[in-house]
């Protein structure tokens, strides 16, 4: 018999189904996955080798998607506006991939090395904050400031995923909290407002582009 050939489409479907089951606190078994995807139980082993490796793949794919969102803008000469864009990108990824987000940030990783899979996405945030420091807009340690931004945004997203606030409130709160933090980091309020206005223009264009792409599907 010829060996089974991995199918990228089936692999992606298994990752999506696995994230959904974990997020819903459902048993993650080969039988349940096969039923969700409409394939055989052997497909899990063909594509991932084990349920444990599938869990790792879900986290890896989740962070790859987050990184793609965080790279969705071209850096400008206004690093504070760019930082606001990255905050929007973080939220947009979470709202678009809620099951993945739960697995990435609200589930215990398989082991210590697995917990380090997505650290590069946090470094992307640190790098953007460092640009703001280098430009004289912020003062302090880039990692600490980035951690404050991350934890505050994660809190807003968590409230949304718990059904306590809607998407409009996510947008409002991230702007309000982001502005307060930027000023507390040393930026002048008027400069922060100008940067937020620039980022808002980019966000509006990006949302319009996404809406147009959705209508064409």
**Residue linked to tokens 């991939």:** 97
Confidence (pLDDT) at 215 = 54
Q: Two tokens at 128?
A: 């953007």
Distance CA(120)–CA(67), nearest Å, equals: 8
- pLDDT tens string for the chain (217 positions)? 233 555 778 999 999 999 999 999 898 999 999 999 998 889 999 999 999 999 999 999 999 999 999 999 999 999 999 999 999 999 999 999 999 999 999 888 877 777 788 999 999 999 999 999 999 999 999 999 999 999 999 999 999 999 999 999 999 999 999 999 999 999 999 999 999 999 999 999 988 887 766 554 4
- First vs last Cα of the chain: how many Å apart? 40
Dihedral sign of CA atoms 204, 136, 130, 149 in order: negative
Confidence (pLDDT) at 2 = 31
CATH node for 59-216: 1.10.357.10
Confidence (pLDDT) at 49 = 92
Q: Two tokens at 131?
A: 């640009």
* Residue boundaries of the structural domains of the chain: 1-49, 59-216
CA dihedral 92, 138, 125, 93 (to 10 degrees): 0
Q: Which is nearest to 83 in space by CA: 128, 48, 114? A: 128
Distance CA(137)–CA(1), nearest Å, equals: 65
Confidence (pLDDT) at 1 = 29
Distance CA(43)–CA(5), nearest Å, equals: 10
- pTM attached to this predicted model: 0.89
Please say whether the beta carbons of 20 and 99 come within 8 A: yes
Distance CA(9)–CA(35), nearest Å, equals: 16
Confidence (pLDDT) at 213 = 61
């Amino acid at each position: 018999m010829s060996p089974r050939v991995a199918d990228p489409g089936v692999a992606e479907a298994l990752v999506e189904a696995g994230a959904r089951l974990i997020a819903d606190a459902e048993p993650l078994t080969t039988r349940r996955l096969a039923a969700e995807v409409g394939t055989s139980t052997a497909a899990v082993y063909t594509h991932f080798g084990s349920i444990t490796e599938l869990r790792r793949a879900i986290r890896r794919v989740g962070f790859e998607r987050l990184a793609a969102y965080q790279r969705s803008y071209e850096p400008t000469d206004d690093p504070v506006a760019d930082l606001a864009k990255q905050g929007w990108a973080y939220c947009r990824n979470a709202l678009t991939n809620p099951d993945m987000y739960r697995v990435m940030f609200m589930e215990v990783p398989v082991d210590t090395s697995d917990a380090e899979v997505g650290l590069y996405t946090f470094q992307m945030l640190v790098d953007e904050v460092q640009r703001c420091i280098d430009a004289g807009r912020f003062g302090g340690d880039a990692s600490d400031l980035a951690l404050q931004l991350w934890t505050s945004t994660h809190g807003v997203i968590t409230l949304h995923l718990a059904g306590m606030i809607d998407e409009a409130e996510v947008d409002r709160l991230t702007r309000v909290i982001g502005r307060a933090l930027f000023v507390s980091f040393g930026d002048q309020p008027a400069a922060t407002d100008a940067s937020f206005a620039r980022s808002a223009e980019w966000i509006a264009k990006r949302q319009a582009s996404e809406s147009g792409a959705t209508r064409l599907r």
